[in-house]
Structures are given as structure tokens and as C-alpha cells.
Amino acid sequence: MRAQKPVVVVAAVVASLCLGAGVAAAGEGWGPARPGSDGAGDSYYPQDGNGGYDVADYNLKVGYDPASHQLTGVQDISARATQSLSSFDLDLHGLTVDSVKVDGRDAKFSRTGDHELVVTPSRALWRGQNFAVKVAYHGVPAPISDPSLGDNGWQFTPGGATFVAGEPKSATTWYPVNDTPLDKATFHLAITVPDEWGVIANGRERGSVKAAGGTTHVWAEETPIVPYMTTVAIDKWTFDRQKRADGTPIVSAFAPGVPDSAKQAEARLPEILDFLESKFGKYPIDAAGGIFLNAQIGFSLETMSRPIYSGGWAGVVPVIVHENAHQWYGDSVAVAHWRDVCLNECFASYAEWLWDEAKEGVDLNKQYATKVQKASTAFWNGKLYDMGAGHEFTYVYSKGPLMLHALRNYIGQPAFDFVLKTWPSLHRGGNASMQEFQCYTELVAHRSLKGFFDAWVYGTGKPADQYLFPGTLKPAA
């Protein structure tokens, strides 16, 4: 059993005040062993993730040959049954499973759908039981192509390098996983590649050792992490290593051909993290840095402790601000459901506004008024909540920061600052919903915010003037 930190208990109290404390049915999960669900039940991606267990740690040993693209892996999973299980599922896209063991005993396994690995242990698992799973597998990993979101997961660059990035799916393309934001776990990686290739991944470096066929590079992410935020990148990197004033290691990697402007921008990461810490509270991750690709992938991504940057965004400081703001809003505090993604993207986008205000002297009220003046009907009809599968990453970047700036003026600067700084600590290491954020903001502001959230977040159309121009906000002249 994992000990509850005091802040987690406080968060649970706040959540119960907002949503009402849930009461489990008597005896729930204590009956005869039955299969765990083959999905975590998200309304957009109901088959992603699985039910019946909670993962504590992934310990992954991988060998990868860039020339043939062949990957061989052994995944050790430490988990706890949350119901009595006759079988359970893991998520794995493609790749060939060679064997599965549960608690050291051979287990039966089968594949269903496009990513379900169904495991039947030789003995049933009882609710509350800790158990270990070992999966051996191999193959050529391939990205998941989505018509709206592009490629997700294991990807290749024209120069022969490879990297892992994607949202909401990614991890399933290279290891067996419970692929849901609701199941965070620590992540340990030992990956062997030919000597001429370098490796960077999440967390802290644990050293490299000579191995048969190359060098084994070891990384450890001790902050529990959502699966899609795990990454590994293999290239002929130039590394830069710094430390924050508190000793937090900063490791950044630059692919061959990445411009000096990227290195100059990333050199400001200690300053950026200090600034974000002043707004959002203590940095919640145990390492930092960045992975700078020399490839155009259409997005940059907040992979935990070490965001990945597309070649098209190299050297753009606001993008570094955005992705590192996610370490608080999106990584440490993850969404409860994908319909809540504004809790990630609206806040990271507004962090860029806050940076511009503090560092560039931008008048945010004027910027807000100009954007409101230019906004189209389609813009106002863009949704910030429950926008539909495949449409999560649209208006949250543009309408989202407008909403937060209006909220700042609606509840006043002191209340807004308090919410921004305390929300991540209240839910640190957990998940949250938009309704919980609304309720917490109401508690801080000592007033109902139903009208504001209905106008800006849950509804569509241009908000009424009382919500569009609160406080010191005025229409553009």
C-alpha cells in the first residue's frame, strides 16, 4: 500500500466537497475472480487502458538496432489487483509477444482487437494482492497513425534516428502498458544500442555500461508518470548538462543539425523553471531538460521531465515555457478524462502569456482586447470542454488563455494567483477534472462561478459582456 501524503488527503477533501464523496458498494471487487475490463472507460477512448489492477512500476529492458529497426524487450511490471482477477489486459500495439509470466509462473496469453494483450495467470489474483508480470516480446515498432492527430508513438527520422512522442497514445507502440492517464507508475529503462548512438529518456541518468552488441544506457523516472509521457530518443546527440540551484539535474540533447538558437533558448531553462515555480509552486518533477529533434513532426510534447521539441520550433523560448508549464499542468496533475484536456493546454498556453508579461513587458489586457476584437464566430463556438475525440487539441491553445485571463479579472488577482499556485500541489501526482477546478476556484473566490464557466468553458458562443470584460478588461479602442 502506498502511503498517502498530507497534500493528497487535502486534495481528496477538496474533491469530496466539490463532487460529493463516492461510496463503494459493499463487497465490491471481493467476489469470485473475473476478467478485468479491457478499457479504462474514457468517453473518447474507452478501450485505452484497462481495469482491475494498478501499476506501481515499469522496469523495461530493451535492445534496439537502428539499422534493422528491430526491437527486443523484456518488461517487468509491478502491480496490485484492485479486484479479484481471473485474467487482465495490457495494451500493446503490434509487436510479437514471446512469453508472459505472472509471479514467475507461465501465463496464457492472447491478442484481441488492435492493441489488447489478454493475460490469464495460472492462479487467480485476489483483490489487494501485489503481483509481478514479465512480458518478453520483439518486432519492428511502428507509430499509430491518426487522421486528426498524426503519428503517435515510435517514429523514425530520415537520418536513421528514432524517438517516441504522441498524445493520447504513444507508449503502446514500444512496450506493454496500462495505457490510461488514471494509472501513473514509476518508469525504469535500460536500453542497449550500438556504440555510435546516444540515448536520452525520462528522469535521471543512471549510467551506461558496455554490453554485447553495444552500450546499455540506464534512465530512471522516479516521479510516477502517465504512460504517454514516457519517451526514449536515439540519435548522435550533443548533450548539455546543467543543474538548478536546488540541485535538480537538467539534461538536454540536441540532434545533429539543430541550430545554435535552440541551444541558446534551452540555456534559459533554469530561468524558465524558476519563473514557472514562482507562478505554480514548487517544481514537481525530479529532473528536467529537453530533447531537440532535427525533424519536423508537427508538434512538441511535454514528455515528463524532458519535453520533445520538433525541429520547426527549435529556439523558440515560448514553446519551452509552454512544455515545461505542463510539468505542473498536465504531467504532475493529469486529466481525469480526455474531455478535461483544457486543464493541460489552456494553462500551458496561458503560461506563455505570463512569461511575456513578466519578461517582455506585454500588456495582457491590451493583448486580450485585440484578440477578442478579431475573434470569429467559429472561434467563439470552439469548445474548451468535451470537444470530442480527435478535437481535443484545437481551441484550447487560443481560446483557452483568453478564458484564463478573463477569469483572472473576474475573481481578482490575489484569488487567481492563489489558485494557480495551489492547484498543482493539491492534486500533485493525481488526476483532476474541470468540475473540480471550478469548485476549487469557487472556494478560493468565495463566490459561485457557474455563469462564468457556463459562458466560457462548458458552452459555446461569445460570452456576455459581464464575463467577457470583467474587472479592468475593456473592448479594444
Task: Give the CATH number of the domain where residue 166 resides.
Answer: 2.60.40.1730
Distance of CA 469 to the CA centre of its chain: 33
Domain finish residue from 233, 265, 292? 233
- Those residues with Cβ within 8 angstroms of residue 231's Cβ, 6 or more apart along the chain or in another chain: 163, 164, 165, 170, 201, 202, 291, 303, 306, 308
Give pLDDT tens digits for 319-352.
Answer: 999 999 999 999 999 999 999 999 999 999 999 9
Q: Tell whether 326 and 390 lie within a shared domain.
A: no
d(C-alpha 167, C-alpha 347), whole Å: 17
Q: Is the pLDDT of residue 26 over 50?
A: no
Q: Tell whether 321 and 373 lie within a shared domain.
A: no
Query: 31: pLDDT confidence band, cut at 50, 70 and 90?
Result: confident
Q: Tell whether 255 and 392 lie within a shared domain.
A: no
Give pLDDT tens digits for 364-387.
Answer: 999 999 999 999 999 999 999 999
Q: Is the pLDDT of residue 161 over 70?
A: yes
CB 157 within 8 A of CB 163: yes
d(C-alpha 312, C-alpha 316), whole Å: 9
Query: 315: pLDDT confidence band, cut at 50, 70 and 90?
Result: low
Q: What's the pLDDT at 147?
A: 76
Q: What's the pLDDT at 327?
A: 98
CB 293 within 8 A of CB 308: yes
- Quote the number of domains for the chain: 3
Q: Tell whether 160 and 219 lie within a shared domain.
A: yes
Q: Is the pLDDT of residue 11 over 70?
A: no
Block residue for cell numbers 489474483: 125
Instruction: For residue 15, tell me if it sits in a domain.
Output: no
Of 159 and 115, the one with more pLDDT = 115
Give pLDDT tens digits for 53-70.
Answer: 999 999 999 999 999 999
Q: Tell whether 224 and 299 lie within a shared domain.
A: no
Query: 2: pLDDT confidence band, cut at 50, 70 and 90?
Result: very low
Of 68 and 24, the one with more pLDDT = 68
Q: Tell whether 86 and 213 lie within a shared domain.
A: yes
Q: What's the pLDDT at 150?
A: 76
Distance of CA 66 to the CA centre of its chain: 27
In the three-class reduction of DSSP (H, G, I as helix; E, B as strand; rest coil), residue 119 is classed as: strand
Instruction: For residue 16, tell me if it sits in a domain.
Output: no
Instruction: For residue 474, tell me if it sits in a domain.
Output: no
Instruction: For residue 18, tell me if it sits in a domain.
Output: no
CB atoms within 10 A of CB 241: 11
Task: Give the CATH number of the domain where residue 309 resides.
Answer: 3.30.2010.30
Instruction: For residue 303, tell me if it sits in a domain.
Output: yes
In the three-class reduction of DSSP (H, G, I as helix; E, B as strand; rest coil), residue 426 is classed as: helix
Q: Tell whether 222 and 366 lie within a shared domain.
A: no
Rounded average pLDDT over 121-138: 98
Domain finish residue from 309, 332, 355? 332
d(C-alpha 268, C-alpha 255), whole Å: 19
H-state helical runs in 375-426: 377-381, 399-411, 413-426
Q: What's the pLDDT at 1?
A: 37
Instruction: For residue 9, tell me if it sits in a domain.
Output: no
Q: Tell whether 158 and 146 lie within a shared domain.
A: yes
Instruction: For residue 31, tell me if it sits in a domain.
Output: no
Q: What's the pLDDT at 4?
A: 34
Question: 418 exposed, middle or buried (CB, 10 Å; 0-12, 13-18, 19+)?
Answer: middle
Query: Average pLDDT of the chain?
Result: 93
Identity of the residue numbered 174: W
Q: Is the pLDDT of residue 208 over 90?
A: yes
Q: Tell whether 70 and 194 lie within a shared domain.
A: yes
Task: Give the CATH number of the domain where residue 462 resides.
Answer: 1.10.390.10
Q: Tell whether 50 and 181 lie within a shared domain.
A: yes
Q: Tell whether 228 and 241 lie within a shared domain.
A: no
Query: 297: pLDDT confidence band, cut at 50, 70 and 90?
Result: confident
Range of the domain at 362: 334-469
Instruction: For residue 152, tell me if it sits in a domain.
Output: yes
Domain finish residue from 270, 303, 332? 332
Give pLDDT tens digits for 197-207.
Answer: 999 999 999 99
Query: 138: pLDDT confidence band, cut at 50, 70 and 90?
Result: very high
CB 416 within 8 A of CB 445: no
Question: 178 exposed, middle or buried (CB, 10 Å; 0-12, 13-18, 19+)?
Answer: buried
Q: Tell whether 262 and 227 lie within a shared domain.
A: no
Identity of the residue numbered 209: V
Query: Cis omega before residue 168 (within 30°)?
Result: yes
